Amino acid sequence: CLDGEGKVHEFDSSWRTENCDDCSCSKTGIGCCTSYMKPVDYDEEKCESIFNKETCSYKVVEKDDHSKECPVHSWVG
């Protein structure tokens, strides 16, 4: 399989892209999906979500104090 970056992957192989997508190659082609969950139900007035590309995950923290995490009631991915 040839991915969007021009890299060749063997059949039945899988990899994670630099944009945190999990991809796999089969004889029918390449399939990719996000490897992370996105927070959707939290106090957006008081808090903000921050994506960490190194860990491929979101953290939801207070806007005024990033050391304080906020509760998240629902995630999608």
State the Cα angle at 62 between 38 and 76, rounded to 5°.
10
* pTM, two decimal places: 0.75
pLDDT for the residue numbered 4 = 86
Task: Go through the domains of the chain in sequence order and give each one's CATH number.
Answer: 1-35 (2.10.70.10), 38-76 (2.20.25.590)
Q: With cut-offs at 50, 70 and 90, classify the pLDDT of residue 77.
A: confident
Please report, for the chain, how many H helices and E strands are present, in that order.
Answer: 0, 7
pLDDT of residue 55: 96
Quick: pLDDT tens for 21-72: 999 999 999 999 999 999 999 999 999 999 999 999 999 999 999 999 999 9
So what's the pLDDT on residue 5?
Answer: 86
Model pLDDT, residue 67: 97
Q: Give the pair of three-digit tokens for residue 13.
A: 């192989």
**Do residues 37 and 52 make contact, with C-beta atoms less than 8 angstroms apart?**
no
Q: Please count the CA atoms within 13 angstroms of the CA of 61 that sit on its side-chain side.
A: 11
